[in-house]
Amino acid sequence: MSAFSASDFNSKRYSSSRPSYPSEFYRIIDKYHDGERKLLVDVGCGPGTATLQMAEELRPFDRIIGSDLSATMIKTAKAIREESPDIYRNVSFEVSPSDNFEFLGAGSTDKQKVDMITAVECAHWFDFQKFQRSVYANLRKDGTIAIWGYADPIFPAYPEFDDLMIEVPYGKETLGPYWEQPGRSRLRSMLKDSNLNPALFYDIRVSCFHAEDIRDQAKLRQHTEMLLLIRKQITLVEFAEYVRTWSAYHGWKQDPKNKNKQDVADWFIEESLRRRPELTVNTKIEVVWNTFYKLGKRI
């Protein structure tokens, strides 16, 4: 996934503008995980969004390692860690692809060391079959694989923005052509075709939540599983900053043919204000994301 690895990708903006994950979700993982907590590896960790949260939110692990293909992301993750070295003293970061755990020093006969492997908002970029085989090779028996993420938010109280939430990311004249595929389509479908293999994992749990269900109590009640609910009070300006963290925005910005066009994130603000003139750029409004998770335990 090249945009996040580009040396000019703004990984600091990514870290401050992307949503993080709610405490309630970490309770779901705590409850799900069985046994020892010596080592957790968070692959595709980016600037450490979930890695650093897990150090604070999960029942403690002795060691937490975040790994990512992008040296730019890992540099930012290390810098954020250094701001609070006491809180994050058991956390470290490695530049590594998601299916390589050589940084653990594990030889071919000594791989099953890891108690939990997480892949947050990144598994859509992976060769999923290869990834789950390497998870199987590196997790201990009964260890946890936890994959989760989010896509395509809505503003529940503003249905008149719904078409903008499709036009900005997927429009032909906006960011649509700039997503790397098939990664984005996989994320958009919330990894529905990437399933944990029951020959490798048991107690498999899957959740898929469409943010529009929040508008309908009857639909919400149909969810019997615990949900990953990512919601945030955000201003239009902050939302535009979030748009600027998308890999497709990075590609759009780099393309010379867009040089004289209005910035697509600014266009989103302008169009929202035109539709709801009572808002200002600084009014806080609620945004809710589509989310999914997949949990499994190694056989």
Ligand X SMILES: C[S@@+](CC[C@H](N)C(=O)[O-])C[C@H]1O[C@@H](n2cnc3c(N)ncnc32)[C@H](O)[C@@H]1O
Interface contacts to ligand X, rule CB under 6 A: 1, 4-5, 18, 43-46, 49-50, 68-70, 73, 97-98, 120-122, 125-126
Give me the residue label for tokens 């009070």: 233
> Cβ closer to ligand X: 186 or 298?
186
> Cβ closer to ligand X: 134 or 272?
134
Give me the residue label for tokens 């997927």: 170
Q: How far is the CB of 54 from ligand X (least distance, A)?
A: 10
Q: How far is the CB of 157 from ligand X (least distance, A)?
A: 26
Q: How far is the CB of 215 from ligand X (least distance, A)?
A: 26
Q: Collect all residues with Cβ–Cβ distance below 8 Å to 229 and sequence separation of at least 6.
A: 22, 24, 25, 209, 288, 291
Cα–Cα distance, 244 to 265 (Å, whole number): 7
Task: Pick left, alpha or beta for residue 81 (phi over 0 → left; psi -120 to 50 → alpha; otherwise beta).
Answer: alpha
Specify which residues 150 forms β-bridges with: 291
Q: How far is the CB of 263 from ligand X (least distance, A)?
A: 21
Q: Collect all residues with Cβ–Cβ distance below 8 Å to 287 and sequence separation of at least 6.
A: 153, 154, 155, 231, 232, 234, 239
Given the DSSP bridges, would you call strands 39-43 and 63-68 parallel, antiparallel or unpaired?
Answer: parallel
Q: How far is the CB of 51 from ligand X (least distance, A)?
A: 7
